[in-house]
């Protein structure tokens, strides 16, 4: 291997080997036939010149770039960074590289990202779409025949696209059920949804849950757990928060400052979990004595603090891997309907949630071993 110029083409290799361009091409692309002698000389020439196949040229011919695009709100978030990790690894294993972009939940950025990726001729796109009434950029690109897989969330107009997500309702249902089993009856829900309990109940009855925002789906899971236990939900138990640690902490402090009789709480998102936890600290509350708590997403700190925080954990990396797999299947021509994946979150009971009364039998052990079900990966 010698020093090499900017770009060594197949022609350079052919010349060096003293054969024709196509002869060289055949051995380099290891298809078509070539004599042992030719093969050897071409390979030697390629090695000597440091030949690197130009995938751009290959892509122009084949129509496939072996590159996929990923569009998420923020790759720096703990959720999407883990998802991206699973996604890139899985894509890479299948021979695809990944182009990423962030939207910050801005529909315009989303639209321009889609256009850019389309112009770069990615073979498909995985997208965690921005909630909007007219997701036209996504619809357009999908109409043009580019494979698209929805990640983590869906919305009206996009129902026909394959969706890879976690069962949000089930996640919060699990968390709430665990608290109920521990004997808690008054359970606060820290939630981002702005819907009232009756609205949520109606949605749960009449619409396709997967078309709702994750926050609404999770709230519905909470309501279901209550209903399963024969309990009525109350708006007074819903602690409304914006999507930030500060907002959640403020909302929770406000709630705790007011009159209430809750003995437990569940937060429906990683950020809200942090905010709620901060509120508990600020109020000087001791978990689980003053309150039992189950958070969302297993973050670094949940096992760092004392008591360790119980959470319902989403399989983030596997979610990303599943999205990559689904997209690649779509690229290979599988039908969208076959590509839907719904993974289950798993309950991790630790020290922040205990029995409401000494008499309650169910301990943390009971939940800890709970097997995953309905998990296709």
Rule CB under 8 A: which residues touch its own copies?
A: 3-4, 6, 50, 52-57, 59-60, 65, 67, 74-78, 81-82, 84-85, 88-89, 92, 97-102, 115-121, 140, 143-145, 274, 277-278, 281, 299-301, 303-306, 317
The dihedrals phi and psi of 238, each to the nearest 5 degrees, come to: -90, 120
Residue 98 vs 341, nearer CB to its own copies:
98
Q: Which residue in 4, 20, 202, 290 binds DNA (CB under 7 A)? A: 20
> Least CB distance from residue 266 to its own copies, whole Å?
18
Residue 354 is a binding residue for DNA (CB under 7 A)? no
What single-letter DSSP state applies at residue 69?
Answer: E
Q: Which does 81 bind (CB under 5 to 8 A by kind): DNA, its own copies, none?
A: its own copies
Residue 122 vs 220, nearer CB to its own copies:
122
The residue to which tokens 């089930």 are assigned:
170
Residue 282 is a binding residue for DNA (CB under 7 A)? no
Could you tell me if 175 and 349 are in contact, meaning their C-beta atoms sit under 8 angstroms apart?
Answer: no
Q: Which does 62 bind (CB under 5 to 8 A by kind): DNA, its own copies, none?
A: DNA
Could you tell me if 142 and 114 are in contact, meaning their C-beta atoms sit under 8 angstroms apart?
Answer: no
- Hey, how many other C-beta atoms are within 10 angstroms of the C-beta on 240? 17
The tokens describing 192, both together, are 């981002």
Could you tell me if 84 and 100 are in contact, meaning their C-beta atoms sit under 8 angstroms apart?
Answer: yes
The dihedrals phi and psi of 39, each to the nearest 5 degrees, come to: -50, -50
Coil, helix or strand for 222? helix
Please give the torsion angle defined by the CA atoms of residues 363, 368, 373 and 377, in that order, rounded to the nearest 10 degrees: 170
Q: Which residue in 1, 2, 7, 230 binds DNA (CB under 7 A)? A: 7
Beta-ladder partners of 126: 70, 149
Could you tell me if 12 and 49 are in contact, meaning their C-beta atoms sit under 8 angstroms apart?
Answer: yes
Sheet holding 187-191, edge to edge: 238-240, 187-191, 264-267, 292-296, 310-313, 346-348
Residue 32 is a binding residue for DNA (CB under 7 A)? yes
Element (H, E) at 119: helix 107-119
33 vs 17: CA distance, rounded Å:
16
> Least CB distance from residue 213 to DNA, whole Å?
38
Residue 40 vs 104, nearer CB to DNA:
40
Residue 5 is a binding residue for DNA (CB under 7 A)? no
Q: Which does 94 bind (CB under 5 to 8 A by kind): DNA, its own copies, none?
A: none
Q: Which residue in 1, 2, 3, 37 binds DNA (CB under 7 A)? A: 37
- Among residues 336, 329, 277, 339, the alpha carbon closest in space to that of 308 is found at 277
Convert residues 38-67 into a mask of x (bound to DNA by CB under 7 A) and - (unbound). Answer: x------------x-xx--xx-xxx-----
Q: Which residue in 16, 23, 178, 255 binds DNA (CB under 7 A)? A: 23
Q: Which does 3 bind (CB under 5 to 8 A by kind): its own copies, DNA, none?
A: its own copies
> Least CB distance from residue 114 to DNA, whole Å?
17
Residue 6 vs 304, nearer CB to DNA:
6
183 vs 8: CA distance, rounded Å:
72
Residue 207 is a binding residue for DNA (CB under 7 A)? no
Q: Which residue in 9, 78, 201, 244 binds DNA (CB under 7 A)? A: 9
Could you tell me if 219 and 191 are in contact, meaning their C-beta atoms sit under 8 angstroms apart?
Answer: yes
Coil, helix or strand for 161? coil
Q: Which one of 6-14, 131-139, 142-150, 328-336 is the stretch in contact with DNA (CB under 7 A)?
A: 6-14
Q: Which does 317 bind (CB under 5 to 8 A by kind): DNA, its own copies, none?
A: its own copies
Binding site for DNA (CB under 7 A): 7, 9-11, 19-23, 25-26, 28-29, 31-35, 37-38, 51, 53-54, 57-58, 60-62
């Amino acid at each position: 291997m010698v020093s090499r110029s900017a770009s060594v083409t197949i022609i350079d290799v052919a010349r060096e080997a003293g054969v024709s361009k196509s002869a060289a091409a055949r051995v380099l692309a290891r298809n078509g036939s070539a004599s042992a002698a030719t093969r050897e000389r071409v390979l030697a020439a390629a090695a000597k010149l440091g030949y690197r196949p130009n995938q751009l040229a290959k892509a122009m011919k084949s129509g496939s770039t072996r590159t996929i695009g990923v569009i998420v709100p923020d790759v720096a978030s703990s959720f999407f960074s883990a998802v991206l990790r699973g996604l890139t690894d899985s894509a890479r294993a299948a021979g695809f590289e990944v182009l990423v972009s962030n939207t910050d939940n801005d529909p315009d950025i989303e639209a321009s990202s889609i256009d850019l990726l389309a112009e770069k001729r990615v073979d498909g796109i995985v997208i965690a779409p921005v909630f909007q009434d007219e997701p036209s950029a996504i619809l357009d690109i999908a109409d043009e025949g580019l494979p698209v897989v929805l990640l983590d969330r869906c919305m009206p107009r996009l129902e026909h696209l394959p969706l890879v997500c976690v069962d949000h309702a089930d996640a919060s249902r699990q968390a709430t059920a665990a608290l109920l089993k521990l004997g808690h009856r008054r359970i606060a829900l820290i939630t981002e949804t702005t819907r009232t309990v009756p609205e949520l109940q109606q949605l749960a009855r009449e619409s396709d849950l997967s078309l709702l925002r994750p926050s609404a789906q999770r709230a519905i899971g909470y309501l279901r757990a209550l209903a399963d236990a024969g309990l009525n939900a109350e708006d007074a138990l819903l602690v409304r928060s914006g999507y930030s640690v500060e907002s959640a902490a403020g909302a929770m402090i406000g709630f705790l400052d007011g009159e209430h009789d809750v003995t437990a709480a569940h937060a429906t998102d990683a950020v809200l979990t942090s905010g709620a936890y901060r509120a508990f600290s600020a109020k000087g509350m001791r978990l689980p004595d003053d309150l039992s708590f189950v958070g969302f997403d297993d973050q670094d700190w949940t096992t760092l603090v004392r008591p360790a925080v119980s959470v319902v954990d989403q399989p983030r990396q596997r979610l990303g891997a599943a999205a990559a797999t689904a997209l690649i299947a779509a690229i290979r021509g599988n039908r969208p309907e076959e590509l839907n994946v719904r993974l289950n979150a798993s309950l991790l009971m630790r020290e922040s949630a205990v029995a409401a009364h000494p008499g309650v039998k169910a301990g943390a052990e009971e939940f800890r071993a709970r097997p995953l079900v309905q998990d296709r990966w």
